[in-house]
Structure 1
Amino acid sequence: MSQAGFVEATCPVCAHTVAAPFFDGGAQPLATLGWPASATEAQGMARHPHDFVQCPRCTHVWNHSFRYDAVPYRDAPNRMFNNGTIWKGHLAESCELLVRRMPANPVLVEIGCGEGHFLRALAGACGGEGRILGFDPSTHPETGQGFEFHARLFDPLADTPRFAPDAVVIRHVLEHLTDPAALLEKLAWGASQVDKPVWLFAESPCIDRVFATDRLADFFYEHVSHFTTDSFRTLMERSGDVFELAHGYDGEVVYALVRLGVPAAAQARAAEAQAFRRRSDASRREIARQLDALAASGELTAIWGGTGKGAAFMHQFGVDAARFPLVVDSDPGKVGTHVPGAGQQIQFRDVLKTRPVKVLIIPTQWRAADIVREMRAAGIAAERILIEHEGRLIDFERDPHPYR
């Protein structure tokens, strides 16, 4: 902690990097996923730090010292038992909120479905039609009854386009995640690959009442995140258009209905990145082909620059020491060292006066004009000077390019 009383910590909701100390509950055992079999085992349980901080930007509260591997999620079921009339009414209202947005025979996915009581309620609200899928790494006897169960984590980037759901449900899961924003953003990108609307129904405990009552029983180790209304809204807005955000069960839970999606500008940038990837693959093949032809021609070739971008050029295009042994530089500090990875010894540029080359390759296009002037001033010449441009090696002095 700094002298000012703040904590260097990245908010799992909005990525703000400074937090304020919020609640120090000391070291406590697991509260809901320990499942001790005896009093002795219960009293001897490992203790974990309750070191809660709050984000001053989005108001989110989380355990700054939480370690995910301290919680046996795969070994013990995370049961949330509430058989009360008010709770049952809330579940029915949640089902209705989602189902009224669904087409006939919908595909519904729940991430972290537990024993599946909500999925079974959804299936009933849909009249038993459609495809109902649940994902959870832990299982118990009721899991999978009445729906299609997958005993694993849901992969949002791969599974969303694979199963093409009409809706994804995440109830009482986000508070267990160290990086809930990553899950929702990946869901949004996965949904962008589906040719229909994909809805998200998310729900989590809400701690708004904590601030008015100072109650502390809300805070236990398995819940790394504690959402306020503001921080929950901030998180939902990272996944798409929020159509509804409200509270249930007397304000103790906050839920949202979101149409998953990615802003058009972000999708355009992603498409541009993918297009660059395709062009770069083609460029590597083409320039490697040109270098193969150059090596096969027997023309003496030198490369100007053996570190940084010069070395990167040689790595990208397979410029090995056997075929291209001559590497020069005008920086005396680099002379006598060797090209990282490739191994050529870097020589001073003046070696080209006594050992003239037919072809000189300058990997740093943006410095090529200065290097050519330096060559002329030093009395160094080459029949062709090549630079990389638009996926090919081109002639610096004859071909069109922006580096003159």
Structure 2
Amino acid sequence: MKRLPLEFVRCLNCGHIFNRMFDYTQVPYVNNPNRMYNRSALWQEHLQDVCSRILPHLPENPVVVEIGCGEAHLLARLAQVNPQGRYIGFDPHADLSSPHAGVEVRAELFEPHRHLEELKPDLLLSRHVLEHLMNPLAFIQETAFFCSWFDIFPLLFVEVPCIDRALKTGRLEDFYYEHNSHFSRESFAHFLGHVHRQPLLIETGYGEEVIFGLTRFEKNEQFVQHAQDSLNFLAKRDQTFLSVTKTLTRFLQAGKKLAIWGGTGKGAAFLNSFELDLQRFPRVVDSDLSKVGTFVPGTGQIISSKTELQTDPVEIILIATQWRVRDIVQEIIADKIPYQQILIEYQGELVDYFEAEHPYR
């Protein structure tokens, strides 16, 4: 079996430690899940302590979901104490035989975009899972987003190993490959602060070897607004593509001679975004002489000098890079390049540079 690389680094802001060489695909959890031993007397006392911390915060008939439930021992304890609730454990490697009649085990990953709306949990549990992930914060932020999106704001209980004692005593064995992330008390508090500015509790347990916290997801209007803006942009993108390509097709059918100004960077992105291929739109020019004779990446046109528009003029010049359109128009005028119309794309339409209202003049 090959040795896997360890290169632990520390965040100087919050103190979090992680292995920047970690690759989740190298850990064979599918064939042999790395479950911690959890049947000792002291560990059972710890579980009972955790259970007592959680119960006062639950409603009478709670829906409790555990992410990465393993053998679902904590869910079973909660179900025994409060059998009126519903208890669901998610773990793709779980044994489907439930440890308690009131616990439902699903051998699958918990997916916030699906399961939050389906189950509407009062509490999400995650114990000794986040330290194994490539990016635990990204997972929690994804969950926080969908909580805001669906207007579902459950409690969140998280437990992970605490690295503080290992750092104080110089222990080396804590730093092994399966544990990518190592939380200190400081980094754990910083982590939970991304869910809510004021966690309900943060404590250490099991001889200060683990740290756990309870907090509640809260509405984040910024999450929702950014997501809605992105969806609106995507919808507009499809409309823009149809409008621009329809207009260009109409020009071609009318026999108009057309050149596109801008063949690299954003210009190349424009040509590729609108699928302006070499066969239908062979003429591409650029202001930069060093680009002349090179090819537009993706669509294949040879980039020509702008001076070719003086000797072989076109009727329509389509400027592909709005951010420097004023410079290009000044070049066209200064070099006395003939044209009938200069077009740019604005608000999803091809518009006349001189006649339309736009912010690029």
**Cα pair distance change 1:66/1:378, threshold 3 Å:** closer
Tell me what 2:178 maps to.
222
Task: Determine whether 1:139 maps to 2:102.
Answer: no
Task: Determine whether 1:251 maps to 2:251.
Answer: no
One-letter code of the match for 2:78?
L
Could you tell me whether the CA contact under 8 Å between 1:188 and 1:240 is conserved in 2? no
Could you tell me whether the CA contact under 8 Å between 2:317 and 2:341 is conserved in 1? yes
Q: Secondary structure at the match of 1:113?
A: coil
Could you tell me whether the CA contact under 8 Å between 2:201 and 2:214 is conserved in 1? yes
Tell me what 1:203 maps to.
159
**Cα pair distance change 1:340/1:204, threshold 3 Å:** closer
Could you tell me whether the CA contact under 8 Å between 1:137 and 1:152 is conserved in 2? yes
Tell me what 2:85 maps to.
130
Q: Distance in 1 between matches of 2:50 and 2:296?
A: 63
Cα RMSD after superposing both structures: 2.7
- The structure 1 residue matched to 2:304, chosen from 343, 347, 350, is 347
Task: Determine whether 1:237 maps to 2:197.
Answer: no
Normalised by the length of structure 1, the TM-score is 0.79
**Cα pair distance change 1:167/1:376, threshold 3 Å:** same
Higher strand fraction (1 or 2): 1
**Cα pair distance change 1:335/1:189, threshold 3 Å:** same
User: How big is the shift at 1:48?
Assistant: 5.4
User: How big is the shift at 1:254?
Assistant: 1.3
Task: Determine whether 1:168 maps to 2:124.
Answer: yes
Task: Determine whether 1:362 maps to 2:319.
Answer: yes
**Cα pair distance change 1:337/1:199, threshold 3 Å:** same
User: How big is the shift at 1:168?
Assistant: 1.0
User: How big is the shift at 1:214?
Assistant: 4.2
Q: Secondary structure at the match of 2:77?
A: helix
Alignment of 1:3-402 (within 5 A): 52-63=8-19, 66-77=22-33, 78-84=35-41, 87-126=43-82, 128-140=83-95, 142-143=97-98, 145-146=100-101, 147-215=103-171, 218-241=174-197, 242-261=199-218, 263-402=220-359
User: How big is the shift at 1:394?
Assistant: 0.5
Q: Distance in 2 between matches of 1:60 and 1:374?
A: 54
**Cα pair distance change 1:135/1:364, threshold 3 Å:** same
User: How big is the shift at 1:102?
Assistant: 2.9
Bigger CA drift: 319-328 or 289-298? 319-328
Q: Distance in 2 between matches of 1:367 and 1:183?
A: 39
Q: Secondary structure at the match of 1:333?
A: helix
Could you tell me whether the CA contact under 8 Å between 2:98 and 2:104 is conserved in 1? no
Tell me the alpha carbon deviations over residues 339-379 of structure 1, each in whole angstroms, 9 at most, x when there is no partner: 32223333322333343322211112233333223222322
Count of matched residue pairs = 358
User: How big is the shift at 1:141?
Assistant: 7.4
Q: Distance in 2 between matches of 1:65 and 1:325?
A: 46
**Cα pair distance change 1:208/1:340, threshold 3 Å:** closer
Normalised by the length of structure 2, the TM-score is 0.87
Tell me what 1:8 maps to.
none
One-letter code of the match for 1:223?
H
Identify unmatched segments of 5+ residues in structure 2: none
Tell me the alpha carbon deviations over residues 270-313 of structure 1, each in whole angstroms, 9 at most, x when there is no partner: 33223222222221221122112222222222222222222221
Q: Secondary structure at the match of 2:105?
A: strand
Could you tell me whether the CA contact under 8 Å between 1:353 and 1:380 is conserved in 2? yes
